Amino acid sequence: MGVNNAANSGFLLWLFIPGLWTVLLLVWVAVGALLGNRPLLHALALAVTLLAVVWCVLSIFWEGAATPPCPGGVPPWWPSFISVPGF
């Protein structure tokens, strides 16, 4: 909430969403060309594609669900001789 709530709306509306649709359409056309005229395989490929997209969205945008945030923003395995900008 707040003033910057819609800061990325232009990016999402004009670049990300059309880009995502384009990638999904190209994948779907490629799968259709590879599978030929087999409706059951098309349905299975669509289900797998949609599950993969849902998994990607959840893993990217559901912050903190998969892994807890690192203490101090730096993972414990990060070597101390390599500086981390911004931390």
Q: What pTM does this model have?
A: 0.44
State the SS3 of the chain: CCHHHHCCHHHHHHHHHHHHHHHHHHHHHHHHHHHCCCHHHHHHHHHHHHHHHHHHHHHHHCCCCCCCCCHHHCCCCCCCCCCCCCC
pLDDT of the chain, 87 residues: tens digit per residue: 555 656 666 766 777 778 888 888 887 788 778 887 888 888 888 788 778 877 877 776 666 555 666 777 777 777 888 777 655
